[in-house]
Amino acid sequence: MTSVRIPPVLREHVDGQKEVGAMGETVGELIRDLVARHPGLGEQLLTPDGGLHRFVNVYVNGQDVRYLQEFETPVTERDAVIILPAMAGGA
């Protein structure tokens, strides 16, 4: 189980939790398992064809997976995974 940090804007879809566990050996598997466990995240994270929305970034150990191997980036239980969608609030 890899721990995934959920940003505040998405926590309503995971019962308010800050971190949730998901299974997978790659980022893609991990995200798909995460969505299977918390279906409310599906629309938030994934495009209709299963890719990551361009307004959502996923970081493994502080590195953007777009500059690693995207959904093929390997992950283990020891990796820190962060999901970070764009947020605009400034007021």
Partner 1 sequence: MRSSPVREVTPAQATEMIAQGATLLDTREQHEWRAGHLEGATLVPPVEVLNRAADVAPDPSQPVVIYCAGGTRSLRAAFQMASLGYRDVVSVAGGIVRWKAEGRPVEIPSDTPAVATNPRYARHLVMPEVGPDGQARLQQAKVLFIGAGGLGSPALLYLAAAGVGTLGIVDFDVVDLSNLQRQVVHADDRVGMKKTESAARTIKALNPEVKVIQHEEMLTDENVDRLIAGYDVVIDGTDTFETRYTLNDAAVRAAIPVVHASVFRFEGQLSVFVPFEGPCYRCLYPTSPPPELAPGCSVAGVLGVVPGVMGLLQATEAIKVILRIGDPLIGRLLIWDALDGNFSEVKLRRDPNCPACGQTAVLEPTLAAAG
Residues at the site binding partner 1, with contacts judged by CB under 8 A:
7-9, 18, 43-44, 53-57, 59, 62-64, 67, 82, 84-91
CB of 12 to partner 1, least distance (A): 10
Give the span between the Cα atoms of 21 and 5, in whole angstroms.
9
CB of 17 to partner 1, least distance (A): 13
> For residues 23 and 82, which CB has a smaller minimum distance to partner 1 in the complex?
82
> For residues 54 and 78, which CB has a smaller minimum distance to partner 1 in the complex?
54
Tokens standing for residue 48: 């209709």
Give the span between the Cα atoms of 36 and 20, in whole angstroms.
12
Give the span between the Cα atoms of 31 and 35, in whole angstroms.
6
> For residues 55 and 69, which CB has a smaller minimum distance to partner 1 in the complex?
55
Rg (CA), the chain: 12
CB of 1 to partner 1, least distance (A): 21
Element (H, E) at 44: helix 41-45
